[in-house]
Amino acid sequence: MTGRSMSDKCLQKLIQERDMLGMMVETFTKTSTGANLHFVPTKAFVDHHNEIIRRYLTGEPFITSYFCCAPEIYTAMDLPWNTFLTPAFTGALMSAYHDEIDASGEMFRGMDLCTIIRLAAYIVEEDLVPPPTAVIAMIHPCDGINVVHQVMAKNEKWSKIPVFGADPPYWEDERSYEYYADELKKMVEFLQKHTKLNLDTNRLREVIKESNKQIALWQEFNELRRAVPCPHGGAMGLEVFGEALTVHCGMPIGTAWLQDVIADAESLVKQGKGAVPKERIRLFWFDVLSLGLTLGLFPWLEQEWGAVIVMEMFGYAPYTQIDTSSEDSMFKGMAKRALHEVPMIRQARGVADYFLSDIERVVKDYKIDAVIFPGYMGHKDGSANVGLMREKCRELGVPFLYIGMDLFDDRYTTLDQLKDKCSTFFRAMGLG
């Protein structure tokens, strides 16, 4: 007996999120084309929430972790993981977290600390998230994430939960990959010790092979997004990321869904159909997407301006296949993926060069008409590249818009202000 119940305070936000996602699932039917492609990933999140709730109640192991901490390992260990930053994403969808966002600002005596970090720290401090068996901390790519895990470790309840953070080197070279592969091996030792689950090398190999297939499919999907008009907008890019690197990472169900997405995109391309009836502007959104944007700004951009998010930071997939021939090669491959390839970490962790080279690659490959850097208030490192990004865009002859917004608090820059900024920019640049 764990003495835990469904009425525990720490479960209530998770239940609220699950129910909201559940309502969305009910609006989709289980087919493999069109809007119903959203069924599988959304249902996966509902199932995932239920599994976390179940494990919390029974005391079976689950962990807190992230998409960039080698999730292939968790799949191979059959170990569910929960990202406690998720409420900020769903909160942005619902605009239901304003009170918590304000309270978190008071907690940190200021609102300039990254909202998602503030909110995450707040929900831990206020016991609004179920405590996991163990925490795999992410201590890059930004200062904020390092902070939130230290705050978490000081929290009375969470201080009793074992925590592991893999030390991230700043470089992308063989030395760094080997160093980080060793960190991942230490992470496995830690997980085995605290969850009592084992990592079987052959099972890991199977998962990575499946993950490799997913990555290949993701890249194929991205090839199709080069088409004019682009078959799918930014929301689908985010879902593809979510399937390949989170809930269905290395699982055949995720692979099958990706095949459906490709089939749908292929069909649309063959028919010459785009995400909007008349595509006029092709955009590269170079930052995180929040669900709020995919339901607010992006549909407006499509309807008002025929502007489609053809590529976004989280949809871009410059991945390499992981060599599964040996345990060492698999860990090294996962290290490379975690340090150098997964979105946001790739750009934000190390030197600024990937901000610039990714812009160059995407603008050329996807026939981009304009690059939008939203300048999320939490992404201080990215905002310190804004001049370099502008220069790169100038060199490429593509207009660049820097907004300055909070992806998770729609009061910082309101939807109307965002629309106004985009319209002014498009008009000034003669786009659309």
Partner 1 sequence: MATKVKSRAKTKSKALKAFTTAAETIVNPELKKWIEQGGKVMGYFCCYAPEEVITAAGMVPFRVRATGSTGTDLSDAYLSSINCPFCRHAFNMGLRGDYDFLEAVVWLNNCDHVRRIYDNWRRKVGTPLAHMMSLPKLTTDKQVAWWREELAILKDTLEKHLGITITDAKLRQAIKTHNETRRLLRQLYELRKKANPPITGAETLAVVVTSTAMPRGEFNQMLKELLHELKDAEGIKDYKSRLMLVSSIFDNPKDVKVMEDMGGLVVTDSMCFGSRMFWADVDEKAKDPLEAIARYYLQVKPSCPRIFLGFPERSKFVQDMIKEFKVDGVVGLRMVFCDLWAGELYMLEKDLQTWSIPVLHMDREYLMGGTIGQVRTRVQAFVESIEKARR
Q: What residue ranges bind partner 1 (CB under 8 A)?
A: 107-110, 112-114, 117, 121, 137, 139-140, 142-144, 146-151, 153-154, 163, 165, 167-171, 175-176, 179, 182, 350-353, 375, 377-378, 380-381, 383-388, 402, 404
- DSSP of 42-108, one letter per residue? HHHHHHHHHHHHHHHHHT---EE--TTS-HHHHHHTT--EE-TTHHHHHHHHHT--HHHHHHHHHHT
Find the shortest distance in angstroms from Cβ 80 to partner 1: 24
| Residue recorded with tokens 């003495």 | 3
Residues 227, 230, 234: CA angle, nearest 5 degrees: 135
Find the shortest distance in angstroms from Cβ 376 to partner 1: 9
Find the shortest distance in angstroms from Cβ 141 to partner 1: 8
18 φ, ψ to 5°? -55, -45
40 φ, ψ to 5°? -60, -55
Find the shortest distance in angstroms from Cβ 185 to partner 1: 12
Q: 82 vs 115, which CB is nearer to partner 1?
A: 115
Q: 311 vs 356, which CB is nearer to partner 1?
A: 356
DSSP 8-state class, residue 33: S
Q: 166 vs 283, which CB is nearer to partner 1?
A: 166
Q: 78 vs 353, which CB is nearer to partner 1?
A: 353
Tell me if residue 122 falls in helix, strand or coil.
helix
Q: 38 vs 390, which CB is nearer to partner 1?
A: 390
Q: 126 vs 206, which CB is nearer to partner 1?
A: 126
Find the shortest distance in angstroms from Cβ 375 to partner 1: 6
Strand 134-137's sheet: what is its strand order? 81-82, 63-64, 134-137, 163-165
Find the shortest distance in angstroms from Cβ 379 to partner 1: 8
Q: 120 vs 261, which CB is nearer to partner 1?
A: 120
Find the shortest distance in angstroms from Cβ 16 to partner 1: 26
Residue 400 bridge partners (DSSP): 371
Find the shortest distance in angstroms from Cβ 392 to partner 1: 11
User: Count of H helices and E strands in the chain?
Assistant: 19, 8
- Which residues lie below 8 Å from residue 321, measured CB to CB, with a gap of 6+? 212, 215, 216, 333
Q: By CB neighbour count within 10 A (0-12 exposed, 13-18 middle, 19+ buried), where does 243 fall?
A: buried
- Asked if 130 contacts 52 with a C-beta cutoff of 8 angstroms, the reply is yes
Q: 98 vs 175, which CB is nearer to partner 1?
A: 175
